[in-house]
């Protein structure tokens, strides 16, 4: 096992982004020790199930040719999750799958026999499932997925949101039949409230973040996300496989699931993974700098609402600590401009609906493109093929319209 011997680099780029080059990065095959956090068998199971859900279809992968040319790169691909299951974000793949896996476990436990997942999906155990309640804390997208799963598979759903979650995002979850409770404070406060109430009422937490003693459902949720990586592997030919993957992160579950998938599947290709966080919620870069999981106290909410998390997911941290090449932060200032750039179709030939959290990775790329030192360090050049993830569309249409229609 070898570890990159690049020197530690902590510094500020000319545009104010903070960078950290990860000294812990393991450059060869996906290590066995990480397979208990996530592996390709989990992906296969998730695909087998989710690909038969009503409305499933692979989402588009757009080439951003103009932007690649402007930045002197070979190609940029943008995986567009704005229409996933009609829920507006990639999160639709995770929470709902977590709910299904929980209900299967619970029904099997109650009946004291193995059950088939498709029987549960088709409503055979509806009388039992309607007695269970799933609960989660959310900035919007994960909760919407859990509410969708509860509706699809027939159980009750309780969602906790913090003070700054928009009315539009709240309503989207209520429209799916969830009861939504707003608590004072930030995401981490809503998480604590959800855990307390779940214990009191014997409800099941279906969280997208993992911690000591709670990893089973976050792992299924991350496995659900990897479906979009599998779609990309099918959509790209061998010649166009990515050299660099930019991953915006909140608790890190999404970034870790993509990192684990591409690392395990294409380990020999030495793909570079760049984790991008908002300056206002930099829990992963802070953990990387400290060499251990760190909690960041969020003082101000970033407009990239899905990325506003102060505590990394344990499973995600395990993977990113060894798999990410580079951690960086971006400021909110560029979010509206880049959303408008996408809405105007300036990156490629198509107008793309990119929500606030969707443009985090692209902003990271634009920052690095201006920084010769980091570019060189990451070998970002005219041979590079970049993969970006448009993780959400207009998940709150009022906010999206207000931003993209601004002059
Ligand atoms: C649109 C969007 N993008 C990215 C993320 C980040 O995912 P994670 O919290 O797993 O890092 C989220 C999280 O909710 C999100 O909603």
| Listed residue (383, 391, 324, 311) closest to 356, CA to CA | 391
| pLDDT value at residue 6 | 37
CA angle 382, 270, 48 (to 5 degrees): 110
Q: What is the pLDDT of residues 299-357, one digit of tens each?
A: 999 999 999 999 999 999 999 999 999 999 999 999 999 999 999 998 777 899 999 99
Q: What is the pLDDT of residues 242-291, one digit of tens each?
A: 999 999 999 999 999 999 999 999 988 899 999 999 999 999 999 999 99
139 is catalytic: yes
Q: What is the pLDDT of residues 182-229, one digit of tens each?
A: 999 888 889 899 999 999 999 999 999 999 999 999 999 999 999 999
Say how many Å lie between the CA of residue 125 and the centre of ligand 1. Answer: 32
Q: Of 162, 179, 207, which marks where a domain is finished?
A: 207
Q: What is the pLDDT of residues 65-79, one digit of tens each?
A: 999 999 999 999 999
Instruction: Say whether both 165 and 103 belong to one domain.
Output: yes
Q: Residue by residue, what is the 3-state secondary structure of 214-233?
A: ECHHHHHHHHHHHHHHHHHH
Q: Of 207, 229, 246, which marks where a domain is finished?
A: 207
Whether 329 is in a domain gets the answer yes
Whether 1 is in a domain gets the answer no
Whether 359 is in a domain gets the answer yes
**Cβ neighbours of 36 (radius 10 Å):** 11
- Count: domains in the chain: 2
H-helix segments, 266-359? 283-290, 314-323, 335-343
Whether 5 is in a domain gets the answer no
Q: What is the pLDDT of residues 95-115, one digit of tens each?
A: 999 999 999 999 999 999 999
Instruction: Say whether both 245 and 352 belong to one domain.
Output: yes
Cα 199 to Cα 25: distance, rounded to the nearest angstrom = 38
Instruction: Say whether both 232 and 200 belong to one domain.
Output: no
Q: Which of 80, 139, 325, 371 is catalytic?
A: 139
Cα 395 to Cα 339: distance, rounded to the nearest angstrom = 13
Instruction: Say whether both 58 and 112 belong to one domain.
Output: no
CA atoms within 13 A on the CB side of 374: 27
Pick 5 or 385 by higher pLDDT: 385
Q: Which of 91, 272, 294, 322 is catalytic?
A: 91
Atom 15 of ligand 1, nearest CA residue: 306
Say how many Å lie between the CA of residue 188 and the centre of ligand 1. Answer: 15
Whether 122 is in a domain gets the answer yes
H/E run at residue 68 = helix 65-71
Give the residue numbers spanning the domain of 139. Answer: 95-207
| pLDDT value at residue 5 | 36
| Listed residue (183, 102, 182) closest to 146, CA to CA | 102
Q: Is the CB of 89 under 6 A from ligand 1?
A: yes
For residue 200, the domain's CATH number is 3.40.50.1100
**Dihedral sign, CA of 72, 73, 75, 80?**
negative
Instruction: Say whether both 296 and 189 belong to one domain.
Output: no
Mean pLDDT of the chain: 93
Q: Of 207, 239, 266, which marks where a domain is finished?
A: 207
| pLDDT value at residue 346 | 81
**Cβ neighbours of 399 (radius 10 Å):** 18
Whether 282 is in a domain gets the answer yes
């Amino acid at each position: 096992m070898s570890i990159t011997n690049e020197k530690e680099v902590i510094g500020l780029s000319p545009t104010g982004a903070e960078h950290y080059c990860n000294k812990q990065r393991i450059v060869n095959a996906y290590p066995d020790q990480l397979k208990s956090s996530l592996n390709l068998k989990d992906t296969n199971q998730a695909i087998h199930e989710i690909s038969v859900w009503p409305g499933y279809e692979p989402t588009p992968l757009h080439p951003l040719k103009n932007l690649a040319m402007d930045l002197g790169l070979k190609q940029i691909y943008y995986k567009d999750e704005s229409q996933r299951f009609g829920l507006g974000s990639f999160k639709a793949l995770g929470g709902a799958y977590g709910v299904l896996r929980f209900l299967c476990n619970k029904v099997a436990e109650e009946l004291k026999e193995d059950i088939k997942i498709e029987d549960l999906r088709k409503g055979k155990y509806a009388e039992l499932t309607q007695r269970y309640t799933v609960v989660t804390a959310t900035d919007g997208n994960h909760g919407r997925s859990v509410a969708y799963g509860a509706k699809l598979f027939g159980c009750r759903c309780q969602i906790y949101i913090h003070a700054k979650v928009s009315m539009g995002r709240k309503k989207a979850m209520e429209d799916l039949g969830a009861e939504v409770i707003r608590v004072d404070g930030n995401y981490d406060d809503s998480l604590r409230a959800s855990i307390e109430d779940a214990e009191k009422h014997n409800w099941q937490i279906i969280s997208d973040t993992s911690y000591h003693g709670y990893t089973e459902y976050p792992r299924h949720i991350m496995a659900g996300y990897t479906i979009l990586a599998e779609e990309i592997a099918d959509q790209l030919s061998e010649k166009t496989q990515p050299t660099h993957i930019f991953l915006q992160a909140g608790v890190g579950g999404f970034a870790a699931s993509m990192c684990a998938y591409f690392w395990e599947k294409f380990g020999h290709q030495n793909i570079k993974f760049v984790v991008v966080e908002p300056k206002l919620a930099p829990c992963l870069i802070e953990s990387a700098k400290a060499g251990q999981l760190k909690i960041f106290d969020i003082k101000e909410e970033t407009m990239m609402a899905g990325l506003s998390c102060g505590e990394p997911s344990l499973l995600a941290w395990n993977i990113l600590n060894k798999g990410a090449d580079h951690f960086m932060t971006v400021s909110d200032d560029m979010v509206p401009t880049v959303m408008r750039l996408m809405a105007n179709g300036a990156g490629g030939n198509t107008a793309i609906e990119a929500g606030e959290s969707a443009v985090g990775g692209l902003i990271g790329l634009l920052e690095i493109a201006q920084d010769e030192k980091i570019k060189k360090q990451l070998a970002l050049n005219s041979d590079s093929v970049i993969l970006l993830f448009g993780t959400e569309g207009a998940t709150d249409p009022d906010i999206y319209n207000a931003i993209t229609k601004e002059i």
